[in-house]
Structure 1
């Protein structure tokens, strides 16, 4: 009688942690922390539950890792948008359009800001997430307030304007874009809103002085 070799089980299929985290982030972004089940996360990443736990920890730890990754990416993109030259109108338009690139997805449609869409809900019950969300919002506030202060010194804003207050409002307008994107407004609608927002901050375009950062 011939013997048939017994097939041994191979090693578990290797996975790319960056790809797995990106897939998990998309699930959290679409469904929020509470709505994203472990089965959803496992299916999206191609990993079973033990593998997910081994790679990222529990669901809460995975969410925080996803939130940190989003913050790193958005921070880098925003820093580039702020550094670019041009008038205040041009810089603000570039900043808002950069944000819009995060808020709209070709595959998922309007999803808004991950910080607001997914982070705020979890911030109600997770002190660490609340801190990350608040720090992210305040970091943006300071960046826009600094931009306004510098541009006022260059003569692009009236001396009577409070640059810190105006910067805070301009930062809040970005939150409004996120909400509108999440609610389903189209790219064309949001682009038109950006033009109006920038007009409100900078005044009529035909009266804008030329300046560079």
Structure 2
């Protein structure tokens, strides 16, 4: 997951005239990200967004609807960011490391303990008992697989990866590295150790490169 944004100061409570849905969703997402869905209260969301409860309900529905909206926006933003980075001219090895470096920058962005990935860190817990959250999580992971797969297929066409390799399998391996970075960063692994893990994973993926290319 590679999308970054600026953490802006909280606004006073109450729904201002110049209501900014994007900013409210960003602040709500940051709150869910920090505390988790279950531990986040409506008062937390009200404080974070600067909107009172009636305004929150009127704009986004209940807490669950607001959470789902933040998940979906996170998936879309990160898929777009991944596609932009992977569409560039860098060789496959460098393009993959670019994704992982950006992910690590995001996961370790907050002061104190690393925050990991918003989607994996929160939705994996709620998906056990919520079919809709499970669906967003599953589709989100699949969309990241597809981004990696498209870039690996391009590398295969350009001779970086052997024709006998299966891009679908390699894309899942690329995604698995991303998942590992997300989980282990939140579990306390050092950033330098996780980058070394990413490098080893990329070496495995790119080890299918043709000889002499």
> Shared fold by TM > 0.5?
yes
Once residues 73 and 175 of structure 2 are traced to their aligned partners in structure 1, the CA distance between those partners, rounded to angstroms, is 21
Matched, 1:56 2:56: no
Matched, 1:81 2:85: yes
Superposition deviation, residue 135 in structure 1: 0.9
- Which residue of 154, 172, 186 maps to 2:158? 154
2:141 alignment partner, SS class = helix
* Higher Cα Rg, which structure: 1
Moved more, 119-128 or 34-43: 119-128
Structure 2 unaligned residues grouped into runs of 5+: 1-13
Matched, 1:189 2:181: no
Instruction: Give the corresponding residue for 1:31.
Output: 35
- Which residue of 162, 171, 174 maps to 1:170? 174
Moved more, 112-121 or 99-108: 99-108
Instruction: Give the corresponding residue for 1:7.
Output: none
Matched, 1:67 2:87: no
2:38 alignment partner, SS class = helix
CA RMSD in angstroms, aligned pairs only:
2.4
Q: Please say if residues 100 and 177 of structure 1, whose CA atoms lie closer than 8 Å, have aligned partners that are also in contact.
A: yes
Moved more, 145-154 or 196-205: 196-205
Once residues 12 and 46 of structure 1 are traced to their aligned partners in structure 2, the CA distance between those partners, rounded to angstroms, is 7
Q: Deviations over 1:80-114 (max 9, x none)?
A: 11111121111111122233343232446421221
- Which residue of 41, 44, 69 maps to 1:40? 44
| TM-score, structure 1 normalization | 0.82
Matched, 1:127 2:131: yes
Once residues 29 and 185 of structure 2 are traced to their aligned partners in structure 1, the CA distance between those partners, rounded to angstroms, is 18
Moved more, 163-172 or 104-113: 104-113
Aligned length, in residue pairs: 198
Superposition deviation, residue 71 in structure 1: 1.5
Once residues 154 and 170 of structure 1 are traced to their aligned partners in structure 2, the CA distance between those partners, rounded to angstroms, is 19
Structure 1 unaligned residues grouped into runs of 5+: 1-10
